[in-house]
Amino acid sequence: MKNLLSLTAAAVLLTAACSAPKLSSYAAKTDLKSKAKYDFNQGKIRENGKGFAIDMAALGKMPKRIALVSFYITDPGITKISGTNQTGKSFNTTNTGSANGKIFANDFSSKSIETIKASFKTYGIDILTPSEFLTDDDKKQAYNDFVVKHTNLNKLGEKLSKWGKKLGNAGTTLEMDEAADGYNLIKINKKESSDDKKKSVPPQNLSGSLDGQMIESIGYDLCKSLEVDAVLIIFNTQLADTKWSKTRFWLSAVNMHILGPNPTPLKEGKKDNNFYSKGLFYCGVRMPFKKGLCINPKIKDEVKKTENDKLNYVAYNNMMAGCANKIGSYLQKELDKGKK
C-alpha cells in the first residue's frame, strides 16, 4: 500500500510538471492583441486640459517619434511561509536576482526590438532606441540625470505598503528591478503581490494610478528634454522558484506603456495642481498570465532544450507584437473618432 501511495504521489508530481505552461507554447500564437488588456487610468483630459490620459482629438495626430527609454525586468519576489504561530514560522524568499535579471533584460530586448519597431511602424510611429534619440551631449545628460518624481500621496502609499509587509511577517519579500544594457531604469510599475503556487501576479497594476508627478515627469519633462513626441516603457514581470533542485524562471506578465505631453496648455493665470498635468498617459497595456509561463522548463535533451529556447523568443515577439498592436489600434481609433 505504501509503495502504491508513493507511485501515485510521483505520478501527480510528474503530471503537474508536464502540465506547467511554458513560454515556448506561445510561439504558435501569432495574434495576441486581445490578450493585452488596458492598464492605465483612462480619465481623458477635459477641454481645460485636466485629467490623466490623452484625448487624441486634442492631440490631433499620431505621435510620430517615440523614444524607448526603458526596458527592464521586475520581480516582486515570492515568499513561502512554513510552520504556525505555535510551532514558529519560517520564511523562504526567492527572486530572479540582479545578475539573471540583467541577462533576461538583455536577451528579451535585443531579440524583440525589430518586432517592436515593425509593429508600431504600421501605425506611422517610429520607435527610437537610445542610440537613435541620444543624439547630443545635452540629451545624454538629461537622460542619465533623469529621476522619476512621485506625489506625496504615492510616497506615503509606498511606505504603508512596506509597513504592511513587516506587520504581516512578510518583510523578507525581495524585489528586483534590472534594466537592459544601454537603458536606464525608469520604473513605472507599482509594488505588487505574487502567487507562489500559480507563479502569477494581478491582472492589472497601473489602471488606478493617479500619480500626477510621475506622469508629468516622464510624459513631459523627459519628452521635452529628449525632443520626442512621447516615450515608451516596456517591462517584464517575472518570478523565480526552486523546482527540481534548480531555479526555474517564470514570465508572469509583459507590460508596455506610452506617456507624452499634454496638448492642452493650462489657461493663463491658473495654477498647476493634481488635476492638471503637463504629461499624460497615452496608452498602457498589460498581458498577464493566469499561470506563469516557465521560461526554462526541465528538458534533459540538449537539442530539445535549444529548440525550446528559440521558441521562447518567437513567443515573446508574438507578445510584443500583440501589445504594440493593442496600443496602436487604440490610438488610431481614438484619433479617427475625433475627426468625425
Q: Grade residue 161 by pLDDT with cuts at 50, 70 and 90.
A: very low
Tell me the chain's radius of gyration from C-alpha atoms: 22
Q: Is residue 11 part of a domain?
A: no
Closest by CA position to 259, among listed 233, 234, 235: 233
pLDDT at residue 177 above 90? yes
Q: Give phi and psi for 245, each to the nearest 5.
A: 65, 25
Mean pLDDT computed over 237-244: 86
Q: pLDDT grade, residue 274 (50/70/90)?
A: low
Question: Which residue has better confidence, 226 or 155?
Answer: 226
**Residue 272 resides in a domain:** yes
DSSP class of residue 264? Answer: S
DSSP structure string for 90-138: EEEEE---HHHHHHHHHHHHHHHHHHHHHHHHTTT-EEE-HHHH--SHH
**Number of folded domains in the chain?**
1
Q: How confident is the model at residue 254 (pLDDT cuts 50, 70, 90)?
A: very high
Residue type, 173: T
Q: Tell me the pLDDT tens digit for each residue of 303-330.
A: 999 999 999 999 999 999 999 999 999 9
Asked if the model's pLDDT at residue 226 lies above 60, the reply is yes
Write out the residue range of the structural domain in which residue 220 sits.
22-339
40, part of any domain: yes
Give the model confidence (pLDDT) of 67-123 as tens digits.
999 999 999 998 766 666 666 555 667 889 999 999 999 999 999 999 999 999 999
| 166 pLDDT more than 90 | no
Is residue 16 one of the residues assigned to a domain? no
Please, are residues 297 and 308 in contact by the beta-carbon 8 Å criterion? yes
In a domain, 17, yes or no: no
327 with 283: CB under 8 angstroms?
yes
Q: What is the DSSP letter of 50?
A: B
Q: In sequence order, which residues have a C-beta less than 8 Å from that of residue 72 and are 6 or more positions away?
A: 101, 105, 177, 178, 179, 180, 183, 185, 187, 234, 235, 236
pLDDT of 168 higher than 60: no
> 9 in a domain, yes or no?
no
Which range has highest mean pLDDT (16-30, 130-144, 200-214)? 130-144
User: Is 128 contained in some domain?
Assistant: yes
The model's confidence at residue 275, banded by pLDDT at 50, 70 and 90, is confident
Residue 7 lies in a domain: no
> What is the pLDDT, as a whole number, of residue 175?
85
Please tell me which residue, 257 or 190, carries the higher pLDDT value: 257
By percentage, how much of the chain surpasses pLDDT 90? 67
What's residue 339's pLDDT?
Answer: 78
